[in-house]
Amino acid sequence: MPTPVIASDAHLAHDGLIELVHGSPVACYESPARAVEIERALRAADGYAFEPPDEHGTAAITAVHDTDLVDLLEHVWTDAVAAGHDGRRPLIPDTFATEAFTTRHELSGTPLSRFDRLGSYCFDTATPIVEGTYAAARAAVDVALTAARRVLDSAPLAYGLCRPPGHHAGTRLFGGYCYFNNAAIVAQRLVSLGASRAAILDVDFHHGNGTQQIFWRRGDVFYASIHADPARQYPFFLGHSNETGEGDGVGENLNLPQPADLSDDAYLAAIDRTLEAILSRPGSIIVVSLGFDTYGLDPICDFALTTPVYAEIGRRVAATGRRLVILQEGGYYRPHLGNNAVAWLRGAEGR
């Protein structure tokens, strides 16, 4: 049976143009061409059945995100343009509502303009909003939920070519090129549909701070992540090994921060630790947050993985016997993104 690949063209209209790196505008690393390249490689490979996503409503999104965040992302562009914003430039917040902004935990007023509100929902200057951003983020969620549906309908694995990615987005937070947390929305959907447990394996180079935050106090969704040590790498403030969950979620968050120049073998050792933890818990489906920014040539990351290791990672994850909802997160070395995706999926397919 060919592996279902769920993809949508809605992402093409989400082109942030620039992100601010150390205060300077640079071309967005998270570009439409990334998903175009992955799609090209999968279409050129045999054994993949492309399908458009089914449209889902907002209920699955608001099961993990605040309605305020959805409202903001839906309307901020048209509000800003109506207020005179130049429609050719992306929106990036000017004013960030950091915790230190007020002595009270809750901010005591709401700015009238949605643009002025952005900075209370955003944690970086690399996640621009343009006219097509909301539709693309909604389509990425639809892609993820449709991939999950194929797996619930008994496919051993399905791949959702999500763009924009999702794992940095929290309950009421966007950032890190992410707006809605595709993987978290899928995990929530699985437990809402009756699974007693879900597991998320995050193999993006960066810590999935959003996914961790969403399930921090939850005992029904286990989150395991292998990522760059936040002491040196984005998202800097979260992802340490002593972050293990609270309340019902105690012990249900596993962070394995790693040093720079991480080798294939060291990565596989970390993978084995995460899979052992997943297999010690009940469940039949693993949601994979799949990033290729662990690749040695990635322009913004510092691991040293090679293409063949992606096949081996896929093979080991599939060898758990669990079914896999595989969702695209990061990966910025465009020329090899397609090869790396094909390698991972073929490994998981056992071919």
Residues that bind Zn ion (CB under 5 A): 204-206, 291, 293, 330
Residue with the CB atom nearest Zn ion in the bound state: 330
Q: Which is nearer to ligand SP5, 117 or 168 (CB)?
A: 168
Whole-angstrom Cα distance, residue 229 to residue 308? 24
- CB of 116: closest distance to ligand SP5 in angstroms? 23
In terms of CB distance, is 115 or 333 closer to Zn ion? 333
Among residues 90 and 291, whose Cβ is nearest to Zn ion? Answer: 291
Cα end-to-end span (Å), the chain:
12
Establish whether 168 is a catalytic residue. Answer: yes
Give least dist CB 292 to ligand SP5, A.
9
CB burial of residue 57 (10 Å; 0-12, 13-18, 19+):
exposed
| Token pair for 181 | 């947390």
DSSP annotation of 295 reads B
Whole-angstrom CA distances from 265 to 49, 254, 262, 290, 305 are: 32, 20, 8, 18, 9
Q: Which is nearer to Zn ion, 32 or 291 (CB)?
A: 291
Q: What distance separates the 2 farthest-apart alpha carbons in the chain?
A: 58
Q: Return the one option of ligand SP5, Zn ion, none that residue 39 interacts with (CB less than 5 to 8 A, by type).
A: none
Q: Is 47 left (phi over 0), alpha (psi -120 to 50) or beta?
A: left
Least distance in angstroms from the C-beta of 167 to ligand SP5: 6
Residue 212 CB, shortest distance to ligand SP5, in Å, is 14
Q: Which does 177 bind (CB under 5 to 8 A by kind): ligand SP5, Zn ion, none?
A: ligand SP5
Q: DSSP letter string over 168-194?
A: T-BTTBBBTTBSS-HHHHHHHHHHHTT
249 binds, among ligand SP5, Zn ion, none (CB under 5 to 8 A by kind): none
Q: How far is the CB of 301 from Zn ion (least distance, A)?
A: 7
Q: In the bound complex, which residue of the shown chain has the CB atom lying closest to ligand SP5?
A: 330
Cβ proximity to Zn ion: between 238 and 279 the closer is 238
- 176, interface contact from Zn ion, ligand SP5, none, CB < 5-8 Å by kind: ligand SP5
Q: By the 8 A CB rule, do 29 and 164 touch? A: no
Distance CA 316, CA 281 (A): 17
Contacting positions for ligand SP5 (CB under 6 A): 21, 126, 165, 168, 176-178, 204, 206, 234, 291, 293, 300, 329-330
Residue 188 or 328 having the CB closest to Zn ion: 328
Q: DSSP assignment, residue 45?
A: S
- Dihedral of CA atoms 209, 310, 150, 38 in degrees, nearest 10, equals 90
Nearest distance in Å: CB 234, ligand SP5: 4
Residue of 167, 168, 206, 207 with catalytic role: 168
Q: Hey, what amino acid is at 189?
A: R
The item of ligand SP5, Zn ion, none sharing an interface with residue 234, based on CB under 5 to 8 Å by kind, is ligand SP5
Among 213, 169, 216, 196, which residue's Cα sits nearest to residue 327? 169
What is the sign of the dihedral through the CA atoms of 57, 63, 65 and 69? positive
Catalytic sites, residue numbers: 168
